[in-house]
Amino acid sequence: MTEIHLTGRAASPGLAIGPVTVLTAAIAKRTAIGDPAQEAAALQAAIEAATAEIAELMSTMQGEVADILEFQVAMLEDDALAEGAYDAISVGVAADHAWRSALDAEISGYRAAEDEYFRARAADLADIRDRVLARLSGGDTPAKITGSSIVAGDDISPTTFLAADWTRGGAIALAAGSPSSHVAMLARTRGAPMVVGLGPLSWNGHPPSLALVDGDAGTVIFDPEPETLRLFEHRVAAANAARTAADAGRTEPAHTADGRPIAVLLNIAAPEDLAGLDPKICDGIGLVRTEFLFEASRGLPDEDTQYAVYRRILDWAEARPVTIRTLDAGGDKPIKGLTVDDERNPFLGLRGIRLSLARPEVFRVQLRALCRAAVHGALKVMLPMIAVPSELDRAAAMLDEEFGGLKAKGVACARPPLGIMVEVPAAALRAEDFDAAFYSIGSNDLTQYTMAAARDIGAVADLNDTGNPAVLALIASTVEAGRKRGVEVSLCGDAGADTRLTTALLATGLTTLSVSPIAVARLKAAIARVGS
């Protein structure tokens, strides 16, 4: 048996060694009831049972995970999804066959989509398909993963991923998949190494027993030779030792080797991301994405709901600065009923501050909630997707009006400092022209707009590089504008957590980086090596 080396795309960092579990959708055989009306009823019952099952799982999850499951529930509740299956049943096709063909057609449509976002959702649909099939055949939910296995397969569904315990190690090696899929996002937050796009996993009839996964390099070795295994074990041991050392330093302030203090802030997508975290690991919160409050299924959040959430985050931070970003809907974050459907190029459309200014009745509610929350801590408010100074000025005028209105009514409130995200090259080039209280560089968008390489299209992933000198020059010019104007400049895009870029980012003069909680220890360790 010779070892098999495969190269794909890194989707979640880390190294893992483990026995291979080959994913199969083990669905029991089903005997059709026969009568179309009974078959239709059986399908309906199976869909309802699967929906209830996912909804129950959702009630035990929070934040991003709950959002993913909510997407699946929404799909299952959409009558259009099963329409084709019911049509087939009415002409005599068995419920399971009808459902499978309808969903397979839908899945191949998603897989062939031009937009990586939709391609990445194919795994969610496959998950829905298999859950309903499992219900129809009276079987259990498919595919169980146990222990610290390396899960190998075509693709993996979010619920299959969530059913496994990733705290005991393990990794994922996929023939297909996408780094921007929901599962990849989950793998990153749970620390499970993942490689996607490995191409056909053909074992010549003999499934491998052991695999080595390198989630940093995007490589997988199946059935390694003893010497390959030995070398990899050394790498794993070194990586574990480095992680233990980094974890120990997590609550210490970050300094470069030559003594420069660097502030490390947190990016969060919901207050649940802070559960169980010690505030001492950070110097504050650099980015609160507020889109989670605006999910269509929950309706637009009222002022009190928003205030309560913002206050919870400020309370957690114990007087450390907290930067909350106003709604950044649109682009890759559509919100039904709020963002514009069918924009030809949503990344260049009515998103971020543009949408907020176009929908002042929604924006003003958020501004009022923020003014009320501001009395409970060091709150800063940040505007996304700013391109020209007039956008900041108009938003500032609205903030002043809402603050004035609350004060006149005797409501406890404060006017938080208003800063901008620098994520459009026009703003980076002319940062000095903006009367902003601070700048926060959104490197995800700044990179895609500078390089004309979308952040969610795998085929141009190599161009979407924050380390490109053009992007670094824009970051440096923003830092310089902040220095001249005497205001803080931070960076809150994903590049902050990419330790391969830490030296280059700090060389631009940046002294504040904001990253997701899981990246803090690694980043602080990388900062400590800069200038050594």
Decide: is 445 part of the binding site for ligand PEP (CB under 6 A). yes
Decide: is 501 part of the binding site for ligand PEP (CB under 6 A). no
Residue 191 backbone class (left: φ over 0; alpha: ψ -120 to 50; beta: rest)? left
To the nearest whole angstrom, how small is the minimum distance from the Cβ of residue 440 to ligand PEP?
A: 8
Task: Say how far apart CA 353 and CA 385 lie, in whole Å.
Answer: 6
Decide: is 512 part of the binding site for ligand PEP (CB under 6 A). no
- Candidates 177-185, 358-366, 410-418, 434-442: pick the segment binding Mg ion (CB under 5 A): 434-442
* 165 labeled part of a ligand binding site: no
Using CA atoms of 176, 179, 185, 186 in order, give the dihedral in degrees to the nearest 10. 30
Decide: is 443 part of the binding site for ligand PEP (CB under 6 A). yes
* 302 labeled part of a ligand binding site: no
Residue 526 binding target from Mg ion, ligand PEP, none, CB below 5 to 8 Å by type: none
SS (H, E, C) 249-271: CCCCCEECCCCCEEEEEEEECCH
Q: Which is nearer to Mg ion, 23 or 293 (by Cβ)?
A: 293
- Residue 196 is inside which H or E element, if any? strand 194-196
Q: Which is nearer to ligand PEP, 95 or 287 (by Cβ)?
A: 287
Decide: is 456 part of the binding site for ligand PEP (CB under 6 A). no
Decide: is 442 part of the binding site for Mg ion (CB under 5 A). yes
Decide: is 374 part of the binding site for ligand PEP (CB under 6 A). no
- Candidates 71-79, 198-206, 441-449, 468-476: pick the segment binding ligand PEP (CB under 6 A): 441-449
Please choose, from the candidates 113, 127, 26, 35, the residue with its C-alpha nearest in 3D space to the C-alpha of residue 81. Answer: 127
Number of neighbours of residue 483 by Cβ within 10 angstroms: 11
Residue 181 binding target from ligand PEP, Mg ion, none, CB below 5 to 8 Å by type: none
- Candidates 189-197, 247-255, 268-276, 443-451: pick the segment binding Mg ion (CB under 5 A): 443-451
Task: Say how far apart CA 442 and CA 493 lie, in whole Å.
Answer: 5
* 135 labeled part of a ligand binding site: no
What distance lies between CA 448 and its chain's CA centroid? 17
Select which of 5, 97, 182, 413 is catalytic: 182
* 359 labeled part of a ligand binding site: no
Task: Say how far apart CA 509 and CA 473 lie, in whole Å.
Answer: 11
Residue 492 binding target from ligand PEP, Mg ion, none, CB below 5 to 8 Å by type: ligand PEP
Start-end of H helices in 326-412: 353-358, 360-373, 389-408
Start-end of H helices in 249-378: 303-317, 353-358, 360-373
Residue 188 binding target from Mg ion, ligand PEP, none, CB below 5 to 8 Å by type: none
Q: Which is nearer to ligand PEP, 303 or 423 (by Cβ)?
A: 423
Q: Enumerate residues 404-423 that contact ligand PEP by CB under 6 A.
A: 423
Active site residue 492: yes
Q: Enumerate residues 293-352 that contact ligand PEP by CB under 6 A.
A: 328
Q: CA–CA distance from 33 to each of 82, 129, 132, 464 (Å)?
A: 19, 20, 16, 53
Please choose, from the candidates 200, 220, 155, 152, the residue with its C-alpha nearest in 3D space to the C-alpha of residue 7. Answer: 220
To the nearest whole angstrom, how small is the minimum distance from the Cβ of residue 117 to Mg ion?
A: 15
Active site residue 206: no
Residue 174 binding target from Mg ion, ligand PEP, none, CB below 5 to 8 Å by type: none
* 325 labeled part of a ligand binding site: yes
Decide: is 493 part of the binding site for ligand PEP (CB under 6 A). yes
Q: Which is nearer to ligand PEP, 160 or 450 (by Cβ)?
A: 450
Binder among 121, 182, 289, 380 for ligand PEP (CB under 6 A): 289
Decide: is 106 part of the binding site for Mg ion (CB under 5 A). no
* 445 labeled part of a ligand binding site: yes
Select which of 282, 371, 413, 492 is catalytic: 492
Handedness of CA 324, 180, 114, 58 (dihedral sign): negative
Give me the half-sphere count of Cα atoms (radius 13 Å) on the Cβ side of residue 382.
29
- Radius of gyration, alpha carbons of the chain: 25
Decide: is 442 part of the binding site for ligand PEP (CB under 6 A). yes
Q: Which is nearer to ligand PEP, 41 or 362 (by Cβ)?
A: 362
Is the Cβ–Cβ distance between 92 and 37 less than 8 Å?
no
Q: Which is nearer to ligand PEP, 166 or 449 (by Cβ)?
A: 449
To the nearest whole angstrom, how small is the minimum distance from the Cβ of residue 332 to ligand PEP?
A: 7
Decide: is 445 part of the binding site for Mg ion (CB under 5 A). yes
Residues 6+ apart with CB under 8 A from 350: 330, 339, 340, 343, 358
- Residue 143 is inside which H or E element, if any? none
Is the Cβ–Cβ distance between 193 and 18 less than 8 Å?
no
Q: Which is nearer to Mg ion, 155 or 423 (by Cβ)?
A: 423
* Long-range pairs of 254-259 with CB within 8 A, sequence gap ≥ 24: 254/523, 254/524, 254/527, 254/528, 255/527, 255/528, 256/506, 256/527, 256/528, 256/530, 256/531, 257/528, 257/529, 257/530, 257/531, 257/532, 258/530, 258/531, 258/532
Q: Which is nearer to ligand PEP, 72 or 444 (by Cβ)?
A: 444
Q: Would you name the residues annotated as active-site residues?
A: 182, 492
Residues lying near ligand PEP in the complex (CB under 6 A): 287, 289, 328, 423, 442-445, 492-493
Binding residue numbers for Mg(2+): 423, 445
Binding residue numbers: 289, 325, 423, 444-445, 455
Residues lying near Mg ion in the complex (CB under 5 A): 423, 442, 445
